[in-house]
Structure 1
Amino acid sequence: MAGSQLKKLKAELKSKGLVGQTNTKSRNKRNKAPSESRKSDKEEILQGIRSKFNVFDARINRVKRDVTIIENGKFVKMGESEKSNPTKSNSFMNKNLKIAYDLHKSQKGKNSRLVDRRFGENSGLSQEERMLQRFVKERESSSKRNKFSIESDEDSDDDDEAEFMLSHDGKTLAHDEEFGMDMEEEPTQALAPGHRKTKAEVMKEIIAKSKFHKAERQKVFRQTQNEIDTLDDQFQDIFQEAGKATKNGPQFSDKKQEDILYDERVRGLVFDKRAVPADRTKTQEELETQHNERLRKIEDERAKRMEGERDAEGDDLDQFWGSESDEESSEKAEELDRDDEDEDVSFPLTLEEFSDAIEVEEDPIEYVNKIIKTYKPHLKEGNKDRMNKFVAILFKYVTKKPDDELIKILKKLSESYNEELVGFLRAEMQEIQVRIGAQALEKSDLVYFALCGLIFSSSDKYHLIIIPNLILMNEILSTFIPQDMSRIEFKHVGQCLFIIDTVLQYQRLSKRFEPEVNNSLIKILKACASINGTSTESVLSLDELFVEEPKVSYVNKTYELIDRMSGLYKEYSSLKNFIEQLMPLLSRFQAKKVGNTHKLQAVIDKLNKLSHNIKLTPLVLQAHRKIAIKTLQPKFEENFNPGKSYDLDLNKQEVNKMRAQLKKEKKETLKDIRKQNAFETNERLSEKIKMYDEYHSKMSKIVNSISTIEGKEKNDYEKEKKRRK
Structure 2
Amino acid sequence: MPASQLKRLKASLRDQGVTGPQKSKKQKKQQSAGKTATDRVQRNAALQQIRDSFNPFELRATNARPEKFNSASAKDAAVNGKGRYKDVLHRPGVSKSAGEEMRRATLLPEMHRRNKVGGLLDRRIGEGDVDMTPEEKAVQRFAKEKERKAKGRSLFDLEGSDDEAGNGFGAALTHGGRRIDDLAADDFGEEVSGESEDDEDDGELLRRKRRRSDEDEEEEGEGPVDAEEQQPERKKTKKEVMEEVIAKSKMHKYERQKAKEDDDDLRMELDQGIGELMGLLQGVKKPTPKQSEEAPAHDSNGPVVNSDRQRLLDGMDRDKADKEYDVRLKELARDTRAKPSERSKTAEEKAQEEAERLKVLEEKRLKRMRGEEVEDDVARDDVGDDHDLEGDEDIPDEAAEFGFTASVSQPQEQSQQDVQPDEDEFDLDEDLVASDEDVELSGDESDNSSDDEAEIDAPEDEEDEFVKDILGPQTTSGSNDVKLGEKGATSTGSGLAFTYNCPRSHPELLELVQDLPPDQLITVIQRIRALYHPSLSAANKEAMAGFSCSLVDHLAYMGRNKQPMAVVEQIIRHLHSLSRTYPTQIADQFRQNLASFRERGQPDAGDLVILTAIGSIYPTSDHWHQVVTPAVTLMARWLGLNAPSTAKHAPTSTLMTGAFFVALCLKYQGLSKRYVPEALRFTLQVLSTSTVDNTGLAPHIANLMGMADLWQDKSAFIEIFTPALAVLKKRHAKKQHQTLTIMLQQSRLRRRPLELHHHRKLPIRTSVPKFEENFNPDKHYDPDKERSDAKKLEKEYKRERKGALRELRKDANFIAREQLKEKRTRDEEYEKKYRRLVASVQAEEGAESNAYAREKAKRTGKR
TM norm structure 1: 0.42
TM norm structure 2: 0.35
Flag the structure with more relative contact order, 1 or 2, with Cα contacts below 8 A and sequence separation at least 6. 2
